[in-house]
Amino acid sequence: MTAWEIEGSELVNCNCSYGCPCQFNALPTHGFCEAMGAIAIEKGHYGATHLDGLRIGFVFHWPGPIHEGKGQCQAAVDERATPEQREALLKIMSGQDTEPFATMFAVFASTVETMYPPMFIPINFEVDVDARRGRITAGKLFEVAGEPIRNPVTGAEHRVRIDLPNGFEYELAEIGSGTSRSSGNVALNLDKTYAQFARLHLNNKGPVRHRHAA
């Protein structure tokens, strides 16, 4: 198994209500799952291949709850990546060289029935995790805009976090509101639904823990 590790941040928007039932082992809001987002790698490597500064993106659709499978996925990789970096990122994204179900990459890969050929495109990523604001564009494939949830009466920003000490993606995520559009093989249209802003630190064995479980 080739050793790998990445540190960075993500913004992901799915079709569920704020809170996302998946985070609580519950069924999806509308009975099916759709999502898109991206990860900006600040530091990373796959074996001797450096991954610093690269970005990856993804669009998913599952006809039912994720664990029932039959999913579709369109992966996107930063066009700036070299051939070696592209291969490394695709192996990580597809759950290879990872302990079984240790990361969200490995979990989601096990539920995908149709994996479309990856796209190598420019991925612009401007995300402030703490402010719960961000914008992503991945070529013409998709765009995501994230912002804080607003109080429906006062319009004030509402802050809420999800703490997953033993999760397979993040330890702590800031929750916001996302609006997204994608085209191509997995065309989605999401409007003011669940969005998560999180810092990630992952390797072959799963998330690297920085916090003590309560």
Over the stretch 71-105, which tens digit does the pLDDT of each residue have?
999 999 999 999 999 999 999 999 999 999 999 99
Q: Is the pLDDT of residue 174 over 70?
A: yes
Q: What is the pLDDT of residue 15?
A: 98
Q: What is the gyration radius of the CA atoms in the chain, in angstroms?
A: 16
**Domains along the chain?**
4-207 (2.40.400)
pLDDT score of 213 more than 90:
no
Other CB atoms within a 10 A radius of the CB of residue 59 amount to: 26
Predicted confidence band of residue 38 (pLDDT cuts 50, 70, 90) = very high
Q: Is 190 a residue whose pLDDT tops 60? A: yes
CA dihedral 94, 96, 100, 101 (to 10 degrees): -30
Where does residue 21 rank: exposed (0-12), middle (13-18), buried (19+ CB within 10 A)? middle
Contacts 24+ apart (CB under 8 A), 68-72: 68/111, 69/110, 69/111, 69/112, 69/113, 70/111, 70/113, 71/33, 71/108, 71/111, 71/112, 71/113, 71/114, 72/112, 72/113, 72/114, 72/115, 72/116, 72/185, 72/186
CB atoms within 10 A of CB 84: 14
Look at residue 210 in the predicted model and tell me its pLDDT: 86
Overall pTM > 0.75: yes
| Residue 114 confidence (pLDDT) | 98
What is residue 109's DSSP assignment?
H
